[in-house]
Structure 1
């Protein structure tokens, strides 16, 4: 691959195209995410859907869970049918249609549900494949520049995530929800325009599928996809005919189905032969513990756009340095702290080397996210006497980011390391299933509010995370042995 010509901070100019595409896609995603729960919980008099906060939290949880779950079939479609480049384009186009659907200013919720379905579908095509294209911009052996390129790419993600809640939340203020949804659609449209315009700089990356389906395989896939869709529609129709189908119950069923996915997958790996060695089976058993820990982390961490957003709207004095802000703006705290502390943690992990193991990093992450909810419990107790300062949420997000930067960067790495040889490619998608499980279950935790006070709710979740984190510390030696991860004191 040629390396000369115009560059983007010393990288192939195609990175600029993908950087901007992802930035605008994340703008649309985080913009919607910042107002979705409050829109759903707002009364029809305030142009909302009138759902309870508990149900809105469950919907947002399932929505986030499906976003990560569909990355698996999205990657497969790119590899076998469309190729990464066309998958990113059509994914972005479908996402834009989803936001447009939600922006239609009608009272019927049909366009809202259609919009969410389109966004889920489109993100499944775009999200996994644009990252693949970033990696393919670099020639084999250019690992250092590739890693630096991904760092720039992730900066684009967080720039979009930072500005989206401020812009979309500001436009949606005063019950102008559909204007906010429209801004998200415009963001995705801008991403698509520059993706097409800058396509010549991609130098053919992702144009063809890796292993294209044969005509017979394509026919079988079409039949199975149509059959699966028909079965799902018939099942929903039959359920609706009974008069018992509700949004709340549907989220419970989807959550249960999501929980089945990792159980079935790990059972398939461990109970089948697949020519796995004894060491590979032991490493997979260790990975299951890390998978559960990650799911528990995301269960709490991804309550930001629902439970914590409601707290911001209902119980905080929305003012920073004397400047009024929207509740949605609090969703910008997280990406801001990520951009500030990513370089710090990158240096820290290099200096610590293997003295800090993967189980210890996961354990620290769980303790941090647990402590963040201890802070939330204190804030919720104080809120019983009136609104509290929004700086409580600033502190919560700061502590949570310390946890994320201890767990998220090593997640894919440890997944690749522990994956059996026969499942190397597939297992990378399993990490996203952990996020999916966490989001889905986290959405259902709102039901605890029926039996727990607000401070007690946060303390229960905090205790779960802290106990799990401490357990990882206690069993670190055992897990390291199972993972064949050795401590080398002399390394830096």
Structure 2
């Protein structure tokens, strides 16, 4: 339920944030250009996953998982409260900072805590995680309908208030039930910082602080400290950080020869995940723009339709992602069980996933190339696109999590899990730059190029599956 409310608040906010940023000031928005708003949305998502690295460190070495999750939730709630205040762009950027850090503290640790509710041999463990994942998707499913409806029909700030209230309920439930059900061990760090380590950690923090001052100070001195350049800096960071992690693990003396081979096997899977997340995460950016600008939303002439469906709100489309995950999950669970040892290998599943991800964008070419930009197309095109890309998610997201744990070097197991989150961060960092190329005039080419590149890489991945399997050194 804690994760239900956290996802409710986060995806409720995401459902209306893009529209809030580019809506005219007199309509309650900030008046940003659609290009700038899209770029901010993408880098926002990237930062959320980048900070998951911080969340793991704080829990393991400073606060313990229970306190880290709680204070992460507090920061998220404060971030939504900031958005609920009608003070313009300053509260937007304050909110981004608070929610980014808060989600980074909460998300990786709340997942880990589910496992601590059960002993290693408890047969209820998988069922517990299934309930947990269902909570995530139910929160994500309901939020766009509730927060989106209030935000777009009444007032954006009232919508953000509902997101804040949702997180408040989550915190209350977590605090009181946590005392009853969570272990005493969750209050303490598993690997607390020693006195000998403190100087090195403080020195590294100081170096990062100085580097940030130098970068942003230099931009200010030359008169280039603006939104686009700040987004560019974080985009570069989102790309560099995963590469640095791979170099560190491959060059470490703690990594054995077999483990090094498995890391090389993981690299093409990681690239595939970046391509997939790049398309999947554009659902709240590019497809959200398409829903608002070029989709037929008014059906008041169809009398037999229920009243609430006679005028569709573009924010409602954000519910399609969790909707299809809920539909597909039992189907794929049965499929993999039935196939057993005959099911495709991990790299083959990734390759199939890329084909479906690319196809979801190729499908969107059809209405853009067959009609001019003034024509409003059926919302079923968006439904079809989401239905296809969520097949890709079922082939890549859970499989990737499993493969990450199996291929991780013993000395870097936690960091390797961070790598999976960094794949999403890298994808959205790249998106922050490429979404600037999306306009009503270029949309057909945009969908075709992004979808086409993904399909081509999926085909290439098929050709190197045997090589990847060899590099996996016995991992299935």
Aligned pair partner of 1:375 in 363, 381, 392? 363
Structure 2, unaligned runs of 5 or more: 300-304
Aligned pair partner of 1:40 in 21, 39, 43? 21
CA 1:407–1:111 in structure 2 vs 1: closer, same or farther (change >3 Å)? same
Structure 1, unaligned runs of 5 or more: 1-19, 488-492
CA distance in 2 between counterparts of 1:472 and 1:61 reads: 26
CA contact (8 A) 2:3 2:135 kept: yes
CA 1:135–1:24 in structure 2 vs 1: closer, same or farther (change >3 Å)? same
CA 1:471–1:223 in structure 2 vs 1: closer, same or farther (change >3 Å)? closer
Aligned pair partner of 1:417 in 391, 401, 406? 406
User: Moved runs in structure 1, 4+ residues, more than 4 A?
Assistant: 319-322
CA distance in 2 between counterparts of 1:486 and 1:269 reads: 18
Q: What's 1:3 paired with?
A: none
Q: Is 1:395 the equivalent of 2:374?
A: no
Question: What secondary structure sits across from 1:173 in the alignment?
Answer: helix
CA contact (8 A) 1:380 1:455 kept: yes
CA 1:458–1:73 in structure 2 vs 1: closer, same or farther (change >3 Å)? same
CA 1:309–1:271 in structure 2 vs 1: closer, same or farther (change >3 Å)? same
Q: What's 2:296 paired with?
A: 317
Q: Is 1:101 the equivalent of 2:82?
A: yes
Q: Report the TM-score, using the length of structure 2 for normalisation.
A: 0.93
Q: Report the TM-score, using the length of structure 1 for normalisation.
A: 0.90
CA distance in 2 between counterparts of 1:451 and 1:338 reads: 29
**Residue 354 (structure 1) shift:** 3.7
1:418-465 CA-partner distances (Å, limit 9, x unpaired): 122222232111111111111111222123337972111100011011
RMSD across aligned positions (CA): 2.0
Aligned pair partner of 1:286 in 230, 245, 265? 265
Q: What's 2:102 paired with?
A: 122
Q: Is 1:25 the equivalent of 2:6?
A: yes
CA distance in 2 between counterparts of 1:242 and 1:348 reads: 58
1:311-361 CA-partner distances (Å, limit 9, x unpaired): 000111126856122110000011011111101101111222343011111
CA distance in 2 between counterparts of 1:280 and 1:129 reads: 26
1:281-304 CA-partner distances (Å, limit 9, x unpaired): 222111101100100110111001
CA distance in 2 between counterparts of 1:90 and 1:220 reads: 25
CA contact (8 A) 2:407 2:475 kept: no
Q: What's 1:68 paired with?
A: 49
1:355-405 CA-partner distances (Å, limit 9, x unpaired): 301111101111101111011111223452511111111111111111100
CA 1:83–1:486 in structure 2 vs 1: closer, same or farther (change >3 Å)? closer
Question: What secondary structure sits across from 2:438 in the alignment?
Answer: helix
Q: Is 1:464 the equivalent of 2:453?
A: yes
CA 1:198–1:162 in structure 2 vs 1: closer, same or farther (change >3 Å)? same
Deviating more after overlay: 77-86 vs 234-243: 234-243
1:460-479 CA-partner distances (Å, limit 9, x unpaired): 01101111111111222222
